[in-house]
Structure 1
Amino acid sequence: MSRILVIESSARQQGSVSRQLTEQFIAQWRHAHPADEVQVRDLASEPVPHLDADLLGGWMKPAAEQTPAEQQALQRSDLLTEELLAADVLVLAAPMYNFAIPSTLKAWLDHVLRAGKTFKYSETGPQGLLTGKRAFVLTARGGIYAGGSLDHQEPYLRQALGFIGIHQVDFVHAEGLNLGADSMEKGLGKAREQLARVA
């Protein structure tokens, strides 16, 4: 049995294309792997605070010196990190906001990219500790950006995930969603076809 961790980051609950892709992924995965456990963390309904002094204090101070707020921030980071560590497959649903990922997803990454937990520093540089895991990234984009200079999603997420040792990453892009009905239908259809193959 494998564990699947799904991270939703769309600000919209209704009409979200990335959520539609997530639903398709989960349905297909459960059909193919009925014994697997799927956990969904929704960063819109349960926001993760952005990196702040309390979280830094929780990471850096000895337990006896931490304030209650720092202890709470550390406990939250520990919970999110343990969820990631326990997962065999990571699914990130990431609509494109202003050429990049939602700030809520960046906040989640800031909580789980942790020295000594998900990566470590060695004599040869940083080393990811989450080897053996697989990731899928499902994006929704108003325009067409894949492979272009304005795509700051895929390069960043590949680097962030690779930094912690996740190198097997499949991207499914639903693009051209705001370029008219035909473009939307084509972009969503292409994404669904690709998703059917990878999931």
Structure 2
Amino acid sequence: MSTVLAIHASPRGDRSHSRRLAEVFLSAWQARHPQSKLTRREVGRALIPPVNEAFVAAAFYPEPDARPLSMQADLALSDTLVEELLGHDVLVISTPMHNFSVPSGLKAWIDQIVRLGLTFNHTLDNGIAQYEPLVQGKKALIVTSRGGFGFGPGGELEAMNHADTLLRTALGFIGITDVTVIAVEGEESEARTFEVSAAEAEQRLLALAREF
């Protein structure tokens, strides 16, 4: 039985296109798997603290099993988020593109779940850092909205898209390489143009709900 973790990153509520499109997939998936587990994590309208010096010191403490209580407290949210990620089979991230990248809450979530010894390992080979992903057997779906057109693969603005690439890189680094991106573009264009893009995205999401 598959389990889904949905990460909602838009700072907007009912006006969010990425949230609405994610619900198309999640509703269809739940209809097909009524007994399966769906967990939601809000990172767009709820504070995910950025990594700070205390977090770094605790995360890279040389004896993880002997961390002082204060350091355990510094990592408490991160531990929860990592456990949440590892406890689900499918990751669904709904996010807009903000100024060519992802919203700050989603970036903070990434920083909290990329954890040495939990989601990746680090060794030295002749003094050169080598990294090993520790997350296995999971797939991800990224549902994203973009104000303009041409940010997807082969588009004229593809080089300006640092949202999809950031997410693919971060997820791949910890071992999630089976990643599908469904994007709707043109919110800042005329309404009909955006409606066509959204309708196409909805059909692809409904098809994916039958496959996942």
Which category of TM-score, normalised to the shorter sequence, fits these structures?
over 0.9
**Partner of residue 130, structure 2:** 125
* Distance in 2 of aligned mates of 1:175 and 1:121: 38
Deviation track 1:137-196 (CA, whole Å, cap 9, x = no partner) reads: 000111121121111111221111111111111100011111111121011111111111
**Cα offset for 1:58?**
2.3
**1:5 aligns to what?**
5
Give the 3-state SS of the residue equivalent to 1:149 in structure 2. Answer: helix
Residues 10 and 94 of structure 1 are in contact (CA less than 8 Å); yes or no, is this contact kept in structure 2?
yes
In structure 2, the CA distance between the partners of 1:186 and 1:155, relative to structure 1 (3 Å rule), is: same
The letter of the residue matching 2:58 is G
1:13-47, Cα deviation, whole Å (9 max, x unpaired): 12100110121111011011112100000113322
In structure 2, C-alpha distance between the alignment counterparts of 1:127 and 1:67, rounded to whole Å: 28
* C-alpha distance in 2 between matches for 1:168 and 1:38: 19
1:23 is the counterpart of 2:23? yes
Q: How many residues align?
A: 198
Check conservation: 2:12, 2:45, Cα contact below 8 A.
Answer: no
Corresponding residue SS for 1:78: helix
Q: How far, CA to CA, are the matches of 1:155 and 1:64 in structure 2?
A: 36
Query: Structure 2-normalised TM-score?
Result: 0.87
Paired amino acid for 2:16:
S
In structure 2, the residue matched to 1:85 is: 86
Structural mapping, 1:1-199, within 5 Å: 1-61=1-61, 66=68, 68=70, 70-122=71-123, 123=125, 125-144=130-149, 145-147=151-153, 148-199=158-209
- Specify the code of the residue in structure 1 equivalent to 2:152: A
Structure 1's consecutive aligned runs of 4 or more residues displaced over 2 angstroms after TM superposition are 60-68, 70-73, 121-125
Q: Is the CA contact 2:96–2:144 (under 8 Å) kept in the aligned structure 1?
A: yes
CA separation in 2, counterparts of 1:23 and 1:43?
A: 16
How big is each residue's C-alpha offset from its partner over 1:64-96, in whole Å with a ceiling of 9 and x where there is no partner?
77474x433211110000000111000111100
Shift of 1:125: 2.5
Identify unmatched segments of 5+ residues in structure 1: none
Q: TM-score, normalised by structure 1?
A: 0.93
Give aligned-pair identity as a percent.
36
| Distance in 2 separating the partners of 1:103 and 1:64 | 32
